[in-house]
Structure 1
Amino acid sequence: MNLHATRAIYVFEMARFYRSLLQSFVSPVISTSLYFVVFGAAIGSRINEVEGVSYGAFIVPGLIMLSIMTQATTNASFGIYFPKFIGTIYEHLSAPASFLEITLGYVGAAATKALFIGVVILGTAALFVDIQIQNWFAMASFMVLTCVSFSLLGFIVGIWARNFEQLQMIPLLIITPLVFLGGSFYSVSMLPPAWQTIALFNPVVYLISGFRWSFFGMADVPVGLSLLAIAAFTGLCMAAIWWIFRTGWRLRE
Structure 2
Amino acid sequence: GVDLETDVVHGLEDENIINHERLVININECEAKDSAPKTISRESVFIKYMIDTHLDESWHKYLTELVTAEFFPPNPFPRLTTIFRQNAMRMDLCFERDSVITENILNTNIKLDDKENFIYNIPGIDAYGTPSALQVLDTGIYMNLSQIVSMMTQQNYIQRKGPYRVGICLALSGPSILYGKMQPYLNEVELHEHCYIMGPPGCQGEAVQLFAMIVQNYLVDLIQKNMIPVSGIYFGESQNRWTWEDILTLRAGFISEFCTICNRKEPIFMK
Q: Report which of the two has the higher share of strand.
A: 2
| Rg larger in structure | 2
Name the structure with the higher helix share.
1
Normalising to structure 2: TM-score of the pair? 0.23
Output the TM-score relative to the length of structure 1.
Answer: 0.24
